[in-house]
Chains A and B, each alone.
Chain A
Amino acid sequence: MRERYGLNAPLWKRYLIWISGFVRGNFGESFEYKREVDELIWDRIAFTLVISVGSLIFTYVVAIPLGIYSATHQYKWSDHLLTFLSFVGMSIPAFLLALSLMVFAFEIFGVPLFGLFSAYYEGAPWTWGKLSDLITHLWIPVIVVGINGTASLMRIMRGNLLDVLGQPFVQTARAKGLKEIVVVSKHAVRIAINPLISILGMSLPGILSGSAIVSIVLGLPTVGPILLNSLLNEDIYLAGTLIMMLSLLLVIGNLIADIALAWVDPRIRYE
């Protein structure tokens, strides 16, 4: 048994064997499932990606307009309300939000919000019906995972826009007699939005972490639950591969964010 999993060698040797296999796409064998790690992880990684990208989109789509609104209505009661909400949103741990949403959903709709599919489509082949079922189940984890990021991004957008709105060129634009909406949307927001793209890379760890823990609470078929399980059962090859994969996702995400930044802002050039 130990022979089969190569557990007799010293630690560093086992690590070397595993990592050299990892590079070639051989992730080892899971102790618990008695299957190649390779077979277990890919659809889970795909669902993790779907949820993470979904929350990322949610974060930006919601946070930017709210940040703009908050900045253009500085110190009005609506700004204060949004500020307070964003503080709450930043502070509430994702798993608590998921837990309370589940309880609420059960109390109100009487259905458990568990998993990503209805029982009917579980294990069924991919059809349009299954896809739409997925989408109806998907929005809750997407929002739950995205809430923390949305709150902090909104604060950043508000701060950036306020900085830009105080600059002379905005004053000039106003003095030219441009409408306020044109000043904000054409002149100020374009500048203020730039840093948000570089933050894209920074918000990825939070979203991946959030999706892992929310999935555990909501029982979604992503990396999170299987990671927890493998850790509790000391299924080292599986756990190691999953963490490695999450880190790889993060690095790739950062790369995309950097490229996007250089593409959007012509002032940034890497020599």
Chain B
Amino acid sequence: MKLTIETTENIEGADDPWTDGGQLSYRQLIWRRFRKNRMGVIAGALLLLFYMLAIGADFFAPYHYNEINMRLRHVPPQRLHFSVSDGFYVHGLKSVRNPESLELEFTKDMEQRHPVEFFFKDADGRRHLFSSAGPMFLLGTDRMGRDLLSRIMFGARVSMTLGLVGVLLSIVLGSILGTVSGYWGGWVDNLIQRIIEILSAFPDIPLWMALGAALPPGWSSIQIYFGITIILSIIRWGGLARQVRGKVLAYRESDFVMAARAAGAGHWHIITKHLLPGCYSHIIVIATLAIPGMILGETALSFLGLGIRPPMTSWGVLLEEAQRVTVLLHYPWLIFPAVPVLIVVIAFNFLGDALRDAADPYSD
């Protein structure tokens, strides 16, 4: 296959009779190959769905994430029932004091039925896709009686966007420094490469922990959010910069760059029009595969209490409550936030793998 990704994206293919579509641009070719990978497409669709749920959490979640019910602490997940007369409903809750541990425990009150209402309007006048006038906790509640399902949806906002923003940051940093390093070479290259080596000599989680602990305690939630994002991307840009540098080094002496230079093109023109387009597919693949690492990093940091701080919530913050085995044995549903973490990370891995296969010109 005589497909050259090195050149700009839209001409080859057009005059290359060997590509299967004849008139397809490189991007279309990638898309076509990507679509053939079923796991990749499913993963991509799943991620889109998760991001939609996260962004629209105000509407999709049945409650607000900080709605505290001190009388309904540690309610186990309630089952959803269906009957023709009532539609979907959950049973009411009866609290019973355990004679041994003297703790309040909840059981079903078979007499009571709280129907699930769609497009429910709560006391503040906000609409929810589904909610109920009575207590309805499909995944149970935490130690302050907050609905876990709603908290997971709101937590997705922080956890899932943090990975994206962090990767964006490391893309910007990595591409700029990688290009500079590869294009100009010399002592600049040397300096940047040594910095990358020093950064990669730190084990990431201990360093993240130290930097996370160094964030001032007085910061607001949003400052912490961006602080954590910067901390996570500060180590991860090195790998990307290396890859970009390698590509740029390879293209720098190639004929089309020579031609551009001979034609009087400036550095900026050569870099943006000739060198970087060749790296796009590479960058996208690396970025996709870097997102799960960031999500896991945030989760781990918050889990240890060094990341996102309440009242802001993220999957790591939710898992922090499940840290102790004794708590988990009593209230096993608190581990549930681990499920979306796993799904999202696996989906990103599959998506990145599919993109890599699709962007690889030798894959057919």
Contacts and interface: CB of A to CB of B under 8 A. Distances in A.
Interface of A: 87-88, 90-93, 95-96, 99-100, 102-103, 106-107, 112, 114, 204-205, 208-210, 212-213, 216-217, 223-224, 227-228, 231-232, 234, 239, 242-243, 246-247, 250-251, 254
B203 A231 contact: no
A20 B206 CA distance: 22
A212 B342 CA distance: 21
Contacts of A92: 342
Nearest to B345: A91
B270 interface: no
Contact of A227 (B206, B305, B323, B341): B206
B199 to A, nearest CB: 10
Contacts of B203: 204-205, 208-209, 212, 246-247, 250
A91 B349 contact: yes
Nearest to B212: A231
Contact of A247 (B201, B299, B346): B201
A209 B335 CA distance: 22
Contacts of B303: 95
Contacts of A88: 342, 346
B206 A212 contact: yes
B349 A87 contact: yes
Contacts of B338: 96, 100
Given A102-B325, A205-B204, A232-B306, 9 more contacts: A88-B342, A93-B300, A114-B325, A204-B203, A209-B203, A212-B205, A213-B300, A231-B210, A239-B213
A93 B341 contact: yes
A193 to B, nearest CB: 23
Given A99-B322, A231-B306, A250-B201, A90 B206 contact: no
| Most A-side CB within 10 Å, residue of B204, B206, B341 | B206
Contacts of B329: 103, 106-107
Nearest to B213: A231
B278 interface: no
22 contacts: A93-B299, A95-B300, A95-B303, A103-B325, A204-B203, A205-B200, A205-B204, A208-B206, A209-B203, A210-B205, A212-B209, A213-B304, A227-B206, A228-B209, A228-B304, A232-B213, A234-B213, A242-B206, A243-B210, A246-B203, A246-B206, A247-B203
A22 to B, nearest CB: 16
A103 B341 contact: no
Given A99-B328, A232-B305, A247 B202 contact: yes
B292 to A, nearest CB: 7
Which 3 pairs from chain A and chain B are nearest by CB?
A: A209-B205, A231-B213, A208-B203
A218 to B, nearest CB: 10
A232 B329 CA distance: 27
